[in-house]
Structure 1
Amino acid sequence: MADTAPRPFLGLVAGIAAGVVASAAMAGFQAAAARLMPSDSDEDPATVKAADRVSRAATGHPVAEPNRAAAGQAVHYLVGAALGGIYGVLAEYQPATRRGFGGAYGLVTSLLVDEAAVPAAGLAPGPWQASLASHGYGLASHLVYGMALEGTRTLIAGRR
């Protein structure tokens, strides 16, 4: 009989590592998708705006121009790692978290982060102000994130 006791520490570590890998997969998907549907917006991405907020709070100044893209990527990977850590722990206790090979979790993160938290924080327009294509892009990006997250988590922590 296999041991099915939850392993929260392993889940956390595996989830964080998988979150970084899944964030890279998501960034790769977004780079490819951006070639198909280029943005006409000259506005900074929400990740850069978040980095600016942190920088202003810590130093009183926004992120310097040469560092803006890297700062935005750092925010992207930190959020991806944090969401991955949460996923890794949840997956240890609640197998339903892994539904759709992580795709369901990816879609939930899209709704909670992109559609709710980011606009509520003033980092992006509200969902009613975005195009249908933009919503589809976000959902697809997070679906890639969720599936890469589960694939990597499984490689690290094993199947349950």
Structure 2
Amino acid sequence: MASNPRPLIGLLAGVTAGLVASAAMAAFQHQAGKLIPKGDQSDGDPATVKAADAVVEATTGEKVSEPYREASGQAVHYIVGGVLGGIYGVITEYRPEAASGFGGAYGVVTSALLDEGAVPALGLGNGPAETPAAIHAYGAASHLVFGWVLEGVRRIIAGAR
């Protein structure tokens, strides 16, 4: 356990770092997505848009209208990134070893929990067995980038623990 944990500093640094890491992840996905074979790419909405649809439909009974679909998916992406960053920031204040692999371990865990677990469990995407290997690699690499940038920015703001 770290001496003198600062949970509020960790939370604020983590949320900020999570937002920056989400932008880095989106930029990585934009470029890396070009390398995925056409047959492995999904032709439906991304999980983030489906999540936005689920929230809007639960509150209004309607899906997100077409002009706002992409923006709603981005909002979900950044909200999740900020929340995951905040959790990470607080955890690292108490357990510095959570920053293992310069945040890479946390990135891989988020990939497993979200892409391989929550997304299929919530019906937002295919299960692991129905997902092509290239998509698994793309997701894991994207979350690894998220973890590295998350730790780098968190460390700039809150310092190494």
Q: Which residue of 1 aligns with 2:88?
A: 87
> What is the Cα-based RMSD across aligned positions, in Å?
1.2
Secondary structure in 1 aligned to 2:5?
A: coil
Give the letter aligned to residue 35 of structure 1: K
**Distance in 2 of aligned mates of 1:142 and 1:136:** 10
Partner of 1:9: 8
| Structure 1 match to 2:51 | 50
Q: Deviations over 1:27-83 (max 9, x none)?
A: 000000112225542210000000001111111110000100000000000000000
Matched, 1:151 2:152: yes
Residue aligning to 1:108: 109
- Give SS of 2:102's match: helix
Which 5+ residue runs of structure 1 have no aligned equivalent?
none
Q: Percent identity?
A: 62
1:62 aligns with 2:63: yes
Contact kept? 2:13, 2:89, Cα under 8 Å: yes
**Structure-1 separation of matches of 2:37 and 2:94:** 41
In the TM superposition, residue 157 of structure 1 has moved relative to its aligned partner by 0.5
In structure 2, C-alpha distance between the alignment counterparts of 1:98 and 1:76, rounded to whole Å? 22
Aligned residues: 158
CA distance in 2 between counterparts of 1:152 and 1:74 reads 20
5+ residue gaps in structure 2? none
Is the Cα contact below 8 Å between 2:56 and 2:62 reproduced in 1?
A: yes
Other-structure match for 1:124: 125
> 1:37 and 1:53 mapped to 2: Cα distance?
27
One-letter amino acid of the counterpart of residue 43, structure 1: G
Return the letter of the residue paired with 1:136.
Answer: A
